[in-house]
Homo-oligomer: A and B are copies of this chain.
Amino acid sequence: MLAPWRTHLSAALHRNRSLVYAQYFQLATVRQDGTPANRTVVFRGFQQNSDRIQIVTDNRSAKIEEIESSSHAEACWYFPKTREQFRLRGTLILVNCESSDLELQAARQQVWANLSENARSGFAWPSPGRERSPLESFQVSPPDAKTPLDTFCLLLLEPHVVDFLQLRGEPQNRWIYTCQSNGDWIGRDVNP
């Protein structure tokens, strides 16, 4: 059974579908020094038969180390057209080229296949965040769509708490959904 907030999120995705950037959200994690990190990522759908949100990342990016030291994350997803915000708090599961779980590895392969050729090429680029050098080339031949590069990681966000705010309306509406230990979700009507 789908989590109750999924209905609202699907509706928001549908109503904002004319904006390509409605597929982007901001993912916050915590650095090893205890400071927060925050960056824009692209929504790559839900993992099949689950409420886990799929994101992709490069094995060489700073967030890999951050996630290994703390897997807690909060996504903030603002939908401009409908003026709705979802805050999705949960934990991250990293699926890299070494992951032995067959189901997760299949999901990694599927997400890779669904990427654009441009997006796939980015995983063959020089190391992200390193000093730029004229000796390193960004002209790469497009990687095979069936075999993910080793740098390619699937990142799954498994939400535990979802805070949904509708800015439209007088007054605004806000609900907080919390996942119970038995997996059921409970929703509460709270002040905006």
Number of contacting residues on A, CB 8 A? 45
Contact of A130 among B26, B126, B191 (CB under 8 A): B191
Integer count of this chain's copies in the complex: 2
A positions within 8 Å CB-CB of B: 19, 21, 24, 26-30, 34-40, 70, 72-76, 78, 80, 85, 87, 89, 125-132, 136, 138, 170-171, 174, 176, 188-192
Assuming the A-B contacts A26-B26, A30-B34, A34-B30, are A39 and B191 also in contact, with contact meaning beta carbons closer than 8 angstroms in the complex? Answer: no
Q: Could you tell me the distance in whole angstroms from the C-beta of A36 to the nearest C-beta in chain B?
A: 4
Task: Tell me which residues across on chain B come within 8 A of A40, comparing CB atoms.
Answer: 76, 78, 85
Q: Which residue of B lies closest to A25 (CB)?
A: B26
Q: Which residue of B lies closest to A22 (CB)?
A: B80
Assuming the A-B contacts A21-B80, A24-B78, are A192 and B125 also in contact, with contact meaning beta carbons closer than 8 angstroms in the complex? Answer: yes
- B131/A38 in contact, CB under 8 A: no
- B189/A132 in contact, CB under 8 A: yes
Q: Could you tell me the distance in whole angstroms from the C-beta of A104 to the nearest C-beta in chain B?
A: 23
Q: Which residue of B lies closest to A29 (CB)?
A: B36
Q: Which residue of B lies closest to A129 (CB)?
A: B190
- B125/A87 in contact, CB under 8 A: no
